[in-house]
Structure 1
Amino acid sequence: MGKFLQIHPEDNVIVCLEPMAKGETVAISDGRVVTSLEEIPAGHKMAIKEIAADSNVVKYGYAIGHATENIAEGRWVHTHDIKTNLEGILEYKYEPNTEDIEKKKALMGSKKASFKGFVRKDGRVGIRNDIWIIPTVGCVNNIATALANKASRMLKGNVDEVIAFTHNYGCSQTGDDQEHTRTILSDLIKHPNAGGVLVLGLGCENSNIDVLMPYIGEYDKERVKFLVAQKSDDEIAEGLELLQELIDAAAGDEREEVDASKLIIGLKCGGSDGFSGITANPLVGRISDKIVECGGTSILTEVPEMFGAETILMNRCKDESTFNDTVNMINGFKDYFTRQGEPIYENPSPGNKAGGITTLEDKSLGCTQKSGDYPVMNVLEYGERTDVTGLNLLCAPGNDLCAATALASSGAQIVLFTTGRGTPFACPVPTMKIASNNTIADKKGNWIDFRAGQILEGRTFDELSEELFDKILRTASGEKLKHEEAGFHDMAIWKRGVTL
């Protein structure tokens, strides 16, 4: 791919694919030769024309902020000389390409693929056959962990693992904050990746089992069991008996060939760098399109990392009602920030900046590429489970653990997680780490599942999208990811209210 990339013809910066030495020259597509005025790290930006103070810095064909001083041709463009253009609550206008939206909608479900999954009684399909322990409150986390450790010696048949998903909530919460916790817990209790679930309560918590039952609704009594620790003479012994029943019930479950239209994939990035918007995120966008073309579903979240690129998503909404839902999600999230007295655009993170991302627009324009090109079909509230195929938007924060758990709660059986910095975490469902650069893939091979950095070596998006799609189908059919091999599983609930 060479030493640099000009992403869009109108860009006034290039991305350095390798470290740029002072005095090094590069030949731009318009025939000009630009000389670097200083050392510039890989993944960072260099000006390829003079950028006057207060004028826009353009990358991806969009403004990613404005120059805070005159930037000479060949200078390093980063946090020291650029600032965001973003403001607070905005008004938006729906300006769709209706013809393109209708063409894309006609292609949804036009292709075929399959995987081997576990078909549940409610018709949903799991890609794992785990036994989950879901605490209703953080007070019983240690009991849940002890039960999972002991029950892991009882595995048999086609049961994959016994996993305790500990968290800190379920009590001392109020209003919507408590409601959201109950919704997330009830969603996970009925997730199809679980062959069985033990719901473990304390007994005196706000979200105790009796309170949770209306949220759970109808359930398979053979596959969901309940235990209230305060009512048990020996909660460990009783818990193990219930787990044995769940393992016995799930042990005989068999994978069967299932149409890929049953797949729901979550789209998430974290620890992004200057290569994320060039390699991993657009690659995952192609996967999102492939899933939608097979009649499946993709879910994009982390709303703060849509700021600055939100109009791209808004104008892809299938209709004005979906556009209005997207506007409400974006401005509602900004209002959430301001109610807490926090700046809306306190982003990107130190790791993002070290990797070459400068402003939130820079990050968002790369982040939203994970959504591919298909229309936005649905907008989900936090904790809402999707029942609409195609591309969905989900209201959740950028925090990796909270957002990935929200994707699982909304029905995703797998999360595709792009990263330029690397991370070992997982969420309640298999979490595939896709590296944006080969350096982190080489260094953290125990974390990384797929190398999108091969794009920088000359591999094509078509080649890699086929390879990644095949890996996703293999993962859905039972192939373990790196975090699963390590035994890593996490869960996090988005805390939005006071603690009593």
Structure 2
Amino acid sequence: MNEATEKFGLIRLDPADNVAVATKTLARGEEIELGGHTLVVAQDIPAGHKIAVGGAQVGESIVKYGQPIGLVTNEIRPGDHVHTQNLTDHHVVSDDLSEINPPPSPERISRTFEGFRRPDGRVGTRNYVAVVSTVNCSATVCHQVVSRFTQERMQRWPNVDGVFAVTHTTGCALEYNGLKHRMLGRVLAGYAKHPNVGGCLIVGLGCEQTTGGYLQQHHGVVSLHAPDGTQLTRDGGIPMLTMQTEGGTRQTIEKADALLEQVLDRANQFERETVDASHLSLAVECGGSDGYSGLTANPAVGVVSDRVVACGGLSVISETTELYGAEQLLVRRSRSKEVAKKLLDRIEWWKEYVGRYGGQIDNNPSVGNKAGGLTTITEKSLGAVSKSGGTALEAVFEYGEKMDAHGLVVMDSPGFDPASVTGKVAGGANLVMFTTGRGSCYGCKPTPVIKIATNTNLYHRMREDMDLNAGAVLEGRDLQSVGDEFFEFALRVASGQQTCSEMQGFGDHEFVPWTVGPTV
């Protein structure tokens, strides 16, 4: 941050910027010293919003983060409030790959955490048992099965964090092994085989498209062995029940209850042990963003991302519609032209997909985003991409795809937080860091979610929901040191320390798989 004045409540992020961000509400007529000049506030400006530090004519660019964020639609004078009344997005995606220049790999650092080592070599930060519904028709049965495993009953299995249901709204009336079917199958299989899941039971109706057999045949759902190598069933598969075969709902629930006790006995054999931090798969997410997100919480999480990559782990950023406008920053950091092209191809797909329904990708900023000071998708994306830190982009994955890589990667997803996180968890993320400026209450099972407030006011106002406060950056703390503290907190959570959402028991209804295609 090149110019920051706590006393006067302004931050200008880059010398090239012709706007600054208000760190407090500014009153009309207030005089502010910035860069040796006196700036008179022309209108009341809410905290987190932009104020013009220089004039700009219609058609000229407004610059923030040292990058254009949109074009002026009405003349702007110094001291004016810069927002939707005088600024619009004007981003054009470039397919120029000539500037690709990936940064060198960071110096390796050695850290550890206490995790659950799985027979396939992956490591969990939690040890859950999942009850997976193949179709919406079995969703209620799955929830009723889970409800039987109360806290009191679960005391029999002290090494298991809990039993949770994976239910959804589809699973049938779709083209067999078509795009929608494959996307759903990837996500269901990703949860069933997740490193944070020590055991699983699959429940279906029996006549749906997404049967347990489909998950076995097309998505490799096989037995999760106990540490001693034993298998729960003689055929080596995850136990699967169908309500039609078992004789209805009550019989299925009773059979599932008995089977889950066996699954829990085996999951309980897993114990935490010291493992290398290279086993971390960090998902970075932002939701309910505001004008501070790109100043405080997102770049602080970027520091954590760089630390995880330096440990040999994986960091994944998604929400493709919120990379639009800042995609060239990732293109330049791509390991190869093939990686860069895959990212650009996904953005082009989104433009066509949204346009098919009469929409535009640059309409992404929500009502809450705009109330918090974000005006254009380019501005929002420039702040969002800072969660990725500064390491090279190693790969681009499709939604819910298993992320068999190390380093920084992108997963294609929509900007809707529950759907975005669901995809990354299905891909193997065993830890989530979630920044918010307006206030999110998101939780997830089986992966713990660390929620980070962009400002101190939010941190105190929603204290039971916020794990960390990035508002300290606005109060003079060094961004690097704040990010380092966040990394240490992430290691403690990976080792079993509960997050706010875990302490409140959230995460049972946030499984929201994104699927593309018709219901027929």
Question: Which interval holds the TM-score relative to the shorter structure?
Answer: over 0.9
Counterpart residue number, 1:319: 336
Shift in alpha-carbon separation, 1:95–1:283, aligned structure 2, 3 A:
farther
Q: What are the Cα deviations for residues 8-50 of structure 1, in whole angstroms up to 9, with x where unaligned?
A: 1010000000000111112222x21111011100000000111
1:482 is matched with which residue? 500
Matches within 5 A, 1:413-428: 413-428=430-445
Q: Which of 506, 509, 512 is the equivalent residue of 1:492? A: 512
CA contact (8 A) 1:378 1:393 kept: yes
Q: Does residue 25 of structure 1 match 2:42?
A: no
Superposed CA offset, 1:133-158 (max 9, x none): 11111111111111111023432220
Q: Which residue does 2:459 correspond to in 1?
A: 441
What residue in structure 1 maps to residue 476 of structure 2? 458
Instruction: Kindly tell me the number of residue pairs found equivalent between the two proteins.
Output: 492
Instruction: Give distance in 1, aligned partners of 2:39 and 2:480.
Output: 31
Query: In structure 2, what is the equivalent of residue 67 of structure 1?
Result: 72
Q: Which SS does the other structure have where 2:148 is aligned?
A: helix
Q: Secondary structure at the match of 1:132?
A: strand
Residue 231 of structure 1 aligns to which amino acid in structure 2?
T
**Match for residue 53 of structure 1 among 41, 52, 58:** 58
Deviations 1:259-292 (A, max 9, x none): 0001000011000000000000000001100000
**Does residue 401 of structure 1 match 2:418?**
yes
Q: Which residue identity is paired with 1:471?
A: F
Q: Cα deviation per residue 1:410-457 (whole Å; 9 max; x = unaligned)? A: 110011110001121223311111110111111111111111111111
Inter-partner Cα distance in structure 1 for 2:428 and 2:99? 28
1:466 offset after TM fit, Å? 2.0
Q: Deviations over 1:176-206 (max 9, x none)?
A: 0111001111111100101111111111111
Q: CA deviation at 1:341?
A: 2.8
- For 2:43 and 2:132, the matched residues in 1 are separated by 54
CA contact 1:189–1:216 (8 Å) conserved in 2: no
- Tell me how far apart the structure 2 counterparts of residues 96 and 157 of structure 1 sit (CA, whole Å): 53
2:415 is matched by which residue type in structure 1?
Answer: G
Work out the CA distance in 2 between the residues paired with 1:218 and 1:84. Answer: 48
Secondary structure of the residue that 1:151 maps to in structure 2?
Answer: coil
Please say if residues 193 and 221 of structure 2, whose CA atoms lie closer than 8 Å, have aligned partners that are also in contact.
no
Q: Relative to structure 2, which stretch is displaced further, 278-287 or 161-170? A: 161-170
5 Å-filtered alignment, 1:113-132, equals 113-132=111-130
Aligned position for 1:467: 485
- The separation in 2 between residues aligned to 1:217 and 1:160, in whole angstroms, is 22
Answer yes or no: is the 8 Å Cα contact 1:151–1:244 preserved in 2. Answer: no
User: 2-side partners of 1:334 and 1:469: how far apart?
Assistant: 35
Residue number in structure 2 paired with 1:180: 183
TM-score (norm 2): 0.92
Deviation of the 1:97 alpha carbon: 5.8
The aligned counterpart of 1:11 is 17
Conservation of the 8 A alpha-carbon contact between 2:283 and 2:316? yes
Do residues 143 (structure 1) and 141 (structure 2) align? yes
Match of 2:211 in 1: 208
Pair 1:294 & 2:297 matched: no
Amino acid in structure 2 at the alignment position of 1:251: N
In the alignment, residue 347 of structure 2 is paired with which amino acid? I
1:336 CA displacement: 1.7
1:343 is matched with: 360
| Counterpart amino acid of residue 213 in structure 2 | D
SS in 2 for 1:457: coil
Aligned equivalent of 1:430: 448
Structure 1 counterpart of 2:241, one-letter code: L
**What is the DSSP-based 3-state SS (H/G/I as helix, E as strand, rest coil) of the residue aligned with 1:340?**
coil
Correspondence for 2:89 among 84, 108, 120: 84
CA-to-aligned-CA distance 1:466-494 (integer Å, 9 cap, x gap): 21111100100011111111111120011
For 1:384, which of 395, 401, 406 is the aligned residue?
401
2:235 equivalent in structure 1: none
- Residue aligning to 1:171: 172
CA distance in 1, matches of 2:515, 2:310: 35
Report what 2:239 is aligned to.
225
In structure 1, the partner of 2:198 is 195
Q: Supply the distance in 2 between the matched residues of 1:323 and 1:352 (Cα, whole angstroms).
A: 28
What is the DSSP-based 3-state SS (H/G/I as helix, E as strand, rest coil) of the residue aligned with 1:345?
Answer: helix
Residues 308-345 of structure 1 show CA distances to partners (whole Å, capped at 9, x for unaligned) of 10001001001111111111122122222123332221
Q: Quick one: structure 1 residues 353 and 195, their matched pair in 2 at CA, closer, same or farther if it must change by over 3 Å?
A: same
| 2:228 corresponding residue in structure 1 | none
Aligned to 1:358: 375
Amino acid at match of 2:207: C
Q: Structure 1 residue 134 and structure 2 residue 132: aligned? A: yes
Task: State the match for 2:158 in structure 1.
Answer: 157
* Long gaps (5+) in structure 1: none
Instruction: Tell me by how many angstroms 1:169 deviates.
Output: 1.6
Question: Conserved in 2, the CA contact under 8 Å of 1:18 and 1:42?
Answer: yes
Q: Give percent identity, aligned residues only.
A: 37
Deviations 1:230-273 (A, max 9, x none): 21130111010111011111112110000000100001100000
| 1:370 pairs with 2:387 | yes
Judge conservation of contact 1:203–1:229 (CA < 8 Å) in 2. yes
Q: Which amino acid aligns with 1:171?
A: C
Mapped partners of 1:400, 1:486: distance in 2 = 19
Amino acid at match of 1:220: L
- Residue 271 of structure 1 aligns to a residue whose secondary structure is coil
Structure 1 counterpart SS, 2:114: strand
How far, CA to CA, are the matches of 1:52 and 1:26 in structure 2?
Answer: 23
- State the partner residue of 1:40: 45
1:91 Cα offset (Å):
4.0
| Separation of aligned partners in 2, 1:256 and 1:304 | 39
CA drift at 1:217: 4.2
The amino acid across from 1:195 in the alignment is G
Distance in 1 of aligned mates of 2:10 and 2:184 = 46
What's the CA shift for 1:459?
A: 1.6
Q: Distance in 2 between matches of 1:225 and 1:465?
A: 43
